[in-house]
Amino acid sequence: MSEAVMYSGAKEALGKEGLIEDWSRDKQVFGVPWGKAMMWVFLLSDTFIFSCFLVGYMSVRMATTDPWPNPSEVFALEAFGYPVPLLLIAIMTFILITSSGTMALAVNMGYRKNRKATFWLMLATAILGASFVGMQIFEWSKLIEEGVRPWGNPFGAAQFGSSFFMITGFHGMHVTAGVIYLLVVAFRVKNGFYENRPDGYKIVEITGLYWHFVDLVWVFIFAFFYLW
Amino acid sequence: MSDDGTQHPLKIYYIMWIGLFVLSMFSYATDFMADGALRTFLILLFMFIKAGGIIWIFMHMGWERWALKIAILGPPVAILVLIGLMALESDYIEGSRIENYGESTMEVVSPEHH
């Protein structure tokens, strides 16, 4: 007697068919659209990836006996004749926060079915995201010019470069993907693609989840890599 | 069902937005403090408040049902174990490096700005 019959009392398929039947049973756990649940699961896995990078960075920074370069000096920029610590990083942080705000408003406008406002807010979010990536490219070029490499740099422990390029590079890749994602959804909103869909403008909220996550990761990178 | 977000007043988003700006300014300000336990505490404090706000308000987690909250926010707790283990291990590696190879003799230069 199969276990499936024992538990449910009904006659059920076994083997491969039984597997499919069990896993597609359609008993809903999460009262949200499937896209939203899946985005959350994806973001959870992404959380682990970024955590591994940051924990790896912590490990090499703790284990090295060489002095760690002072991020406050390495990332300083000259303004008005003085080196201002972390100037560009601070500007990038504020740009990302601004884009998070426009995204949150876009989600709200989407639910109000205000297509025009949703489109423009999402476009603004994408432009802010693109400018963030632009500044990151500037930051990378500056550091590479000064001799920072994944295998060494003149300012201290070699592990600084490898952590920096790995962590900010992976984050920058997420921002770039987010900009593309935002543009695709924004133009679909504009063209009325979601007008008669069962889940309507919930896609805007799902896109927003991804974008806010990118901002969330930056909060941790800013604290652990640049400030600590 | 979780609510669909249609009835959220905009006010809470504006408050969160301004809050993030203010907290980020505080975060940035810690860079001008002397190194020490207080600075580390403030870096972590502002970081957690910002992260919590983004997840709770901007990502709508505060309005979700417990099924989703637990499924998504529960697993990352395991990361704390990884942090603890790796901190112990790294501390040991640093100690054995100093014991066997001595202190670092690396010569470093200060970054220049132009």
In the stretch 161-200 of chain A, residues with CB closer than 8 A to chain B read: none
Positions in chain A short of pLDDT 50: 1-2, 4
**Residue B9's pLDDT band (cuts 50, 70, 90):** confident
Residues A123 and A197 in one domain: yes
CA-to-CA distance for A211 and A41, rounded, in angstroms? Answer: 15
Residue B19 C-beta-side C-alpha neighbours within 13 Å = 17
How many degrees, rounded to 5, is the angle at CA B88 between CA B87 and CA B90?
A: 65
Chain A residues touching residue B2 (CB < 8 angstroms): 31-32
Question: What DSSP string runs through A64-96?
Answer: --SPPP-HHHHT-EEETTEEETTHHHHHHHHHH
* Contact (Cβ atoms closer than 8 angstroms) between residue A121 and residue A109: yes
> Could you give phi then psi for residue A114, rounded to 5 degrees?
-90, 90
Is-contact A156 A69, C-beta < 8 A? yes
Task: Parse chain B into domains and list their residue ranges.
Answer: 1-64, 75-101
Range of the domain at A181: 32-227
Based on the fold, state whether residues A117 and A168 are members of the same structural domain. yes
Residue B25 has which token pair? Answer: 């300014």
Q: Give the type of residue at A197.
A: R
Show residues of chain B in contact with A205, CB under 8 Å: 5, 60
Is residue A130 within 8 Å of A156, Cβ to Cβ?
no
Quick check: helix, strand or coil at residue A30?
coil
Residue in chain A lying closest to B95 (CA): A63
How far apart CA A120 and CA A135 sit, in angstroms, is 23
Model confidence at B3, pLDDT cuts 50, 70, 90, reads: low
Q: Are residues A145 and A220 in the same domain?
A: yes
Q: What's A148's DSSP letter?
A: -
Mind listing the pLDDT tens digit for each residue in B53-110?
999 999 999 888 888 899 999 999 999 999 999 999 999 999 999 999 988 888 888 8
Question: Phi and psi (nearest 5°) for A79?
Answer: -140, 135
Nearest CA distance, A179 vs chain B (angstrom): 18
Q: How many domains does chain A have?
A: 2
pLDDT at A19: 84
A25 and A79 co-located in one domain:
no
Mutate to test the interface with A, among B50, B61, B85, B110 (most CBs of A within 10 A): B50
Assign residue A52 the CATH number of its domain: 1.20.120.80
Cα–Cα distance measured from residue A113 to residue A116, given in angstroms and rounded to the nearest whole number: 9
Q: Could you tell me if A95 and A166 lie in one domain?
A: yes
Predicted structure pTM score: 0.88
Which of B27, B75, B111 is the closest to A73 by Cβ? B111
Q: How many CA atoms lie within 13 A of B96 on its CB side?
A: 6
- Cβ contacts (< 8 Å) between B27 and chain A: which residues? 93, 222-223, 227
Question: Cβ neighbours of residue B56 under 8 Å, at least 6 residues apart?
Answer: B62
Quick one: how far is CA A172 from the chain centroid? 9
User: Is B41 at the interface with chain A, CB within 8 A?
Assistant: no
**Tokens in use for A143?**
């550091």
Q: How confident is the model at residue B4 (pLDDT cuts 50, 70, 90)?
A: low
CA A216 to chain B, closest CA, distance in angstroms equals: 6
pLDDT computed for residue B5 by the predictor: 55
Are A11 and A88 members of one domain? no
CB-CB under 8 Å, B68 with A65:
no
CA angle B36/A165/A209 to nearest 5° reads 85
Chain B nearest CA to A92, separation (Å): 11
| Contacts B54 to A, Cβ<8 Å | 100, 212, 215-216, 219
Instruction: Give yes or no for B45 touching A (CB within 8 A).
Output: no
3-class state of residue A9 by DSSP: coil
Residue B7 has pLDDT above 70, yes or no: no
| Number of neighbours of residue A220 by Cβ within 10 angstroms | 19
Which chain B residues are Cβ-neighbours of A213 within 8 angstroms? 59
Question: What pLDDT score was predicted for residue A11?
Answer: 61
Question: What are the angstrom distances between the C-alpha of A156 and each of A39, A67, A136, B40, B70?
Answer: 40, 5, 22, 22, 42
Q: Are residues A38 and A100 in the same domain?
A: yes
pLDDT at A1: 44
Q: What pLDDT does B1 receive?
A: 39
Contact B21 A94 (CB under 8 A): yes
With a CB cutoff of 8 Å and minimum separation 6, the contacts of A6 are none
With a cut of 70, say whether residue B36 has pLDDT above it: yes
